[in-house]
Structure 1
Amino acid sequence: MAEAEVIVQLRTPPRLATTGTADVCDACDVRDVRSLLERRFGVTPEPLHPGADDPALIGWQRVAVPAGMDAEAVATALRGHPAVEAAYVKPPADLP
């Protein structure tokens, strides 16, 4: 079984401050979600659009779920978190 990918949209994306870094209180949601994933599944989220400064993009995260781990269980746990708007298992890409 291949690695799966869970896509996560945060309910309130972190806003970029004038310094280009996330506001401290907005970053709490990301830290809470990261803590849940590390504690329960041993995985960490990463930005789906690294370096983006568009507010519509910075709230999206990607979670690589190793083979043998239930990706749907990861998505379900994320959907139960108050900071998460949506989480789904990305369908596999079609072969060329």
Structure 2
Amino acid sequence: MQFWISTVAGVAFTIAGAGETFMAVLYPRAINGPITATVNRVFHRLLKLGWIAGCRFIVAAGPALIVTQVLCWATLLLAGVSLIVWPQLGTGITARGCR
């Protein structure tokens, strides 16, 4: 039963990651996905609260936001594919204790 759950969750993560990437790359100003919108909101709130203060950090905020978004998409895709492949690995390889 848990294998079906992990496969369904993996498919959902993969579709979410691919959808976010697709919307951001092909339609960058028309549509924001929910994950990209959340990352943007959190990042801008951190800037407004003053957690990231100073001229040097403000200048790097744009590139840091882009890197953060790409890392979120990559994490979604990696987690999704991992959850899909995990049930297929089986139990053929097991660890033995040291003798």
TM-score normalized by structure 2? 0.26
Structure with greater contact order relative to length (CA < 8 Å, sep ≥ 6): 2
Higher helix share: 2
TM-score normalized by structure 1? 0.26
Structure number with bigger Rg = 2
Higher strand share: 1
